[in-house]
Chains A and B, each alone.
Chain A
């Protein structure tokens, strides 16, 4: 049972973690609750389904195509909607409401294009099971875990060992100061939106192969990722990485001790508890609260 608990925590946590890291990355340069991040992840699933199942492209071409579509979509949203709004002095609340509107439009378009029915790319997934001794795990779930570590390592490297990373951190620390010293903040935000879109695309594609897709999936994905990021602390990527794992562990322990229907309730109780008692999250010092 303990092995199942650990394995499932890792698999579920990896799914939450990819969203949490994307949320944290975008939030670091554009601090508002961006609902469209959930839409971008859902697009990853649907784009891969469209390219592979409907257009008949080879799997890897479809996967890469879907990730590129997500990156482009994320860029287009930022360049076409949020940057102009920000330039006109829109507050975080206005941006959030706008993102809710965009999310609703996106969900309706997905519904019209792909229909309300559940879809899954899992015929490919279920064919490849890998034994880990006490259970068989579909290859896609192990890929999700792998992607979780690779994305974490890659983003960490980018943020802490490259000039672009330095710029992103500068905007994160103080957007106005970065602007004063001549940095083009909007360009940094656009670049981050492309990166975020790609990370969300990876998660969406993996979900499409694993548990499948419904048009309303984006909202739930975003919520769990956001809770993970807030639990860990929004100050750094490590917070999102471990916060998602912590959330998955708490949910799974809840299922074991109580019952499955308590799963979401547990997530939100933890969320509220952290917001009330430790709003800065696990990995952030109190004075550095954003």
Chain B
């Protein structure tokens, strides 16, 4: 009887402790982060993959003992600027978020303006964003200069003198066309043709025939899905050659189509190390897309900064001013995209690498 009573007391005591701990967790101040993504429309596959990576990072934080409870609110911006602005305002005014995340340069500038005006931390993954005079805006996308460095090094090694450049007409394509083409020319590589396509174009035959008439040594493309596979096949169809390389887009095709690019190489912006890719696939069953690793890192950077930022008297959570100071101190942090550092402007620096497609797999060609 005495043993039985003792056991009961112990169980009750344990339950009380557990409840107390749970209560403590529930009473932790909440930090809300809004994530605006294209969950519908043409870029929905990327948006949903990024959503999965953000959820993955959040789940990992939930397993840790943190100072604050973190809540992520997802909204669909369909990659439309008007919708993105509306979502950003909703995040700030209704959800009272401390930080906003999104992807890609189509919607990033409008959200950046809203975030800067309201002192809300904003992390994006955009090919280009003007954050020179913006303290709260951070961009985690391999800079164009890093892409150019890797590309020029490889082209010089192949003794390429002339190239034709073809890209999509979107914010990243515009940035690539502007900066990479300029860098190629400065490096003494003649860009004999620059062709641009409306996103969604699938017929490139005439354009390739036109470029082929100028006899370029190499074709460099930044043509996203659904164009990538079509461009590869139509290039082979028109030229009969394999002088085609890409910036990023080869590995952004669904994996089952990678064999279409067999034997071709591409410059890969950092969007996830092979280890992260494996982990992401195991956790979500999804293939890695543009900005997946970057967004995983962005959430980690934000939460990490909140955890380490000092709290002033009377505050429940650190002020955003203190959090951005923490963010700027991030140097050589291990992330899903490799070692990352944030510069004074708020740009996350990361390296581009050359990958080659062999037997439907991507392998590292050279650092």
Interface of A with B (CB < 8 Å)?
1, 4-5, 7-8, 11-12, 111, 115-120, 122-123, 126, 129, 135-138, 211-214, 216, 220, 252, 255-256, 259-261, 263-264
Taking the complex as formed, is B356 at the interface, i.e. its CB lies under 8 A from any CB of chain A?
A: no
A255–B210 CA distance with the chains assembled, in angstroms: 8
Q: In the complex, A137→B254 CA distance in Å?
A: 24
Cβ–Cβ contact A212 & B202, under 8 A:
yes
Residues of chain A within 8 A (CB-CB) of B259 are: 123
Pair B237/A120 contact, Cβ less than 8 Å? no
Q: How many angstroms from the CA of A213 to the CA of B45 in the assembled complex?
A: 13
Complex Cα distance, B229 from A259, in Å, reads 21
B253 at the interface (CB under 8 A from A): yes
Q: Which single member of B42, B44, B200, B233 contacts A122 (CB below 8 Å)? A: B233
Question: In the complex, how many residue pairs between chain A and chain B have their CB atoms under 8 Å apart?
Answer: 94
A8 to B198, CA, bound (A): 19
Contact of A118 among B209, B213, B226 (CB under 8 A): B226
* Pair A135/B237 contact, Cβ less than 8 Å: yes
Pick the residue among A117, A213, A220 that contacts B254 (CB under 8 A). Answer: A117
> Which of A4, A122, A260 is the one whose CB lies under 8 Å from B195?
A260
Chain A residues whose C-beta falls within 8 Å of the C-beta of B169 in the assembled complex: 261
A116 and B213 contact, Cβ closer than 8 Å, known pairs A4-B205, A138-B233, A138-B237 = no
B254 near A260 with CB under 8 A, answer no
Contacts of A120 in B (CB 8 A): 229, 257
B225 touches A118 (CB 8 A): yes
- Separation in Å of the A103 CB from the closest CB of chain B? 15
Q: Measured between C-beta atoms, what is the minimum distance from A104 to chain B in Å? A: 11
Q: Is A12 in contact with B203, judged by CB distance below 8 angstroms?
A: yes
Instruction: Say if the beta carbon of B201 comes within 8 Å of chain A.
Output: yes
Q: What is the minimal beta-carbon distance from A41 to any residue of chain B, in angstroms?
A: 14
* Complex CA distance for A136 and B200, rounded to whole angstroms: 24
**Which of A115, A216, A252, A261 contacts B206, CB < 8 Å?**
A252
Report, nearest first, the 10 A-B pairs whose CB atoms are least far apart.
A116-B44, A211-B202, A4-B209, A116-B45, A118-B226, A118-B225, A255-B206, A117-B45, A260-B207, A261-B196
Measured CA separation A43–B196 after assembly (Å): 30
What separation, in Å, do the CA atoms of A256 and B209 have in the docked complex? 9
The reply to whether B206 and A135 contact each other, CB–CB distance below 8 Å, is no
Q: Is the CB of B260 within 8 A of A122?
A: yes
Output the nearest chain A residue to B224 by Cβ-Cβ distance: A118
What sequence of 0s and 1s flags, for each residue 39-68 of chain B, a beta carbon within 8 Å of any chain A beta carbon? 011111100100000000000000000000
Q: In this assembly, does B70 line the interface, its C-beta being within 8 Å of a C-beta of chain A?
A: no
We find that the number of chain B residues with CB closer than 8 angstroms to chain A is: 37
B196 & A260 in contact (Cβ 8 Å cutoff): yes
* B197: min CB distance to chain A, Å: 5
Contact call B206/A256, Cβ cutoff below 8 A: yes
Q: Of residues A11, A138, A214, which shows the largest number of chain B Cβ atoms within 10 Å of its Cβ? A: A214
CA distance A136 to B48 in the complex (A): 38
Q: When the two chains form their complex, are residues A261 and B197 in contact, meaning their CB atoms are under 8 A apart?
A: yes
A7 vs B230: C-alpha distance when bound (angstroms) = 17
* Contact code string B165-196 (vs A, CB < 8 Å = 1, else 0): 00001000000000000000000000000011
Residues of B within 8 A of A264 (CB): 198
| Cα separation A56 to B41 with both chains bound (whole Å) | 28
Q: A126-B260, A212-B229 are in contact. List 18 more A-B contacts (CB 8 A).
A: A1-B210, A5-B206, A5-B209, A8-B205, A11-B205, A116-B42, A117-B225, A118-B253, A129-B237, A136-B240, A212-B202, A214-B225, A216-B42, A256-B210, A260-B201, A260-B204, A261-B197, A264-B198
Is B238 an interface residue, CB under 8 A from the partner? yes
Once bound together, how far apart are the Cα atoms of A137 and B233, in whole Å? 10
Closest to B254 in A: A117
Closest chain B residue to A264, Cβ basis: B198
- Least CB separation from B208: chain A residue: A4
Contact B204 A1 (CB under 8 A): no
Q: Which residues of B are found within 8 Å of A212, using beta-carbon distances?
A: 202, 226, 229-230
Say whether A8 contacts B209, CB under 8 Å. Answer: yes
Given A220-B200, A255-B207, A214:B226 Cβ within 8 A: yes
How far is B16's CA from A32's CA once the two chains are assembled, in angstroms? Answer: 71
Interchain CA distance A118-B287 in the complex, whole Å:
13
Known: A255-B210, A259-B196. A137 touches B237 (CB 8 A): yes
Chain B residues, CB < 8 A from A117: 45, 225, 254
- Give Cα A129 to B238, complex, Å: 12
- CB pair A115–B260 under 8 Å, yes or no, is no
The CB with the most chain A CB atoms within 10 A, among B43, B210, B225, is that of: B210
Q: Can you name the residue of chain A whose Cβ is closest to the Cβ of B229? A: A120
Of B198, B200, B238, which contacts A4 at CB under 8 A?
B238
Q: How far is the CB of A52 from chain B (nearest CB, A)?
A: 13
List 8 interface pairs A-B (beta carbons < 8 Å), by A numbering.
A1-B209, A8-B209, A116-B41, A116-B45, A118-B45, A138-B233, A211-B203, A259-B195
Query: How far is it, in angstroms, between the C-alpha of A172 and the C-alpha of B259 when the chains are bound?
Result: 50
Which single residue of chain A is at the shortest CB-CB distance from B253? Answer: A118
Q: Report the minimal beta-carbon distance from B45 to chain A, rounded to whole angstroms.
A: 4
Residues of A with C-beta under 8 A to B207: 255, 260
In the complex, A119 Cα to B204 Cα: how many Å? 18
A116–B237 CA distance with the chains assembled, in angstroms: 28
Across the two chains, which residue of chain B brings its CB closest to A141? Answer: B237
A216 engages B41 (CB within 8 Å)? yes
A116 touches B197 (CB 8 A): no
Interface residues of B in 200-243 (CB under 8 A from A): 200-207, 209-210, 213, 225-226, 229-230, 233, 236-238, 240
